[in-house]
Amino acid sequence: MFVEVRNLHKSFGTQKVLQGLSAKVYKGETLVLLGGSGGGKSVLMKHFIGLLSPDEGEVFVEGEDITEMNERELSKVRRMMGMMFQNSALFDSMTVGQNIAFPLRMGGEKDENRITKLVRESLEIVRLSGQEEKMPSDLSGGMRKRVALARAIVDRPACVLFDEPHAGLDPITADSIDHLVKDLQRDHQMTNVIVTHEMRSVFRIADRVLFLKEGIVYWEGTPLELQESTDPELKNFIEGSSGESWEN
């Protein structure tokens, strides 16, 4: 087990987002989080690395409860987990290389040779070798996502959290992101947790799927089980149907 959350509750003001959610992420798997917009998928992922702390409940990473950890202890946990944020979140004033090196420098890495080597290797993994000097504004949306991914993996984390890596990408670029995700799992034994709305990708890459609704895990299973589910809620979600009829 890599991460386990138990009975998580989280509210923002009067809005209850997580309402007693329990879930597990197993080592080496690709887990996809599904559910309607605003259902708390990003909020849940942020609990995995202590960017948010629960009002109630526990978060275990590699068996250790992180909810009571101080910032110094949390930074160790965060070194095990890379996060690729929504909209890539690159610094526009920095080159690609500087963006990717950023988490290393923040983590106190001083060895410039090591930084250069890790940045180069990360760019190789995302198939953008030699692009260190480019500025983010010179890149396409798909390339920006790959740079964000290179930054998330630069410190060789055991787990990468992806928040909507397919958003705004054409189907072919989305497919290349999916290949990268599976390469990371196969070649680097990385555990992947992915929030996405791209159903095609879910069926390609997920080992397991959690469907969130009303602040808890409403359903969990394999992509095959999801495809075969007769639950109207899940069927509508997969088919992209609001449940309203188009016949009149």
Ligand X SMILES: Nc1ncnc2c1ncn2[C@@H]1O[C@H](COP(=O)(O)OP(=O)(O)OP(=O)(O)O)[C@@H](O)[C@H]1O
Report the interface residues with ligand X, using CB under 6 A: 12, 17, 35, 37-43, 195
65, 92 contact by CB (below 8 A): no
Q: What is the closest distance, in whole angstroms, from the C-beta atom of residue 17 to ligand X in the complex? A: 4
Q: What is the closest distance, in whole angstroms, from the C-beta atom of residue 44 to ligand X in the complex? A: 7
Q: What is the closest distance, in whole angstroms, from the C-beta atom of residue 53 to ligand X in the complex? A: 12
| Beta carbon nearer to ligand X, 35 or 97 | 35
Q: What is the closest distance, in whole angstroms, from the C-beta atom of residue 217 to ligand X in the complex? A: 13
| Beta carbon nearer to ligand X, 17 or 96 | 17
Quote the CA–CA distance of 46 and 208 in Å, as a whole number. 19
Strands 30-35 and 191-195: parallel
| Beta carbon nearer to ligand X, 121 or 214 | 214
| Beta carbon nearer to ligand X, 115 or 237 | 237
Across 26-99, where does the E strand assignment appear?
Answer: 30-35, 56-61, 64-65, 81-84
Across the chain, where does the E strand assignment appear?
Answer: 3-12, 15-25, 30-35, 56-61, 64-65, 81-84, 159-163, 191-195, 208-213, 216-221
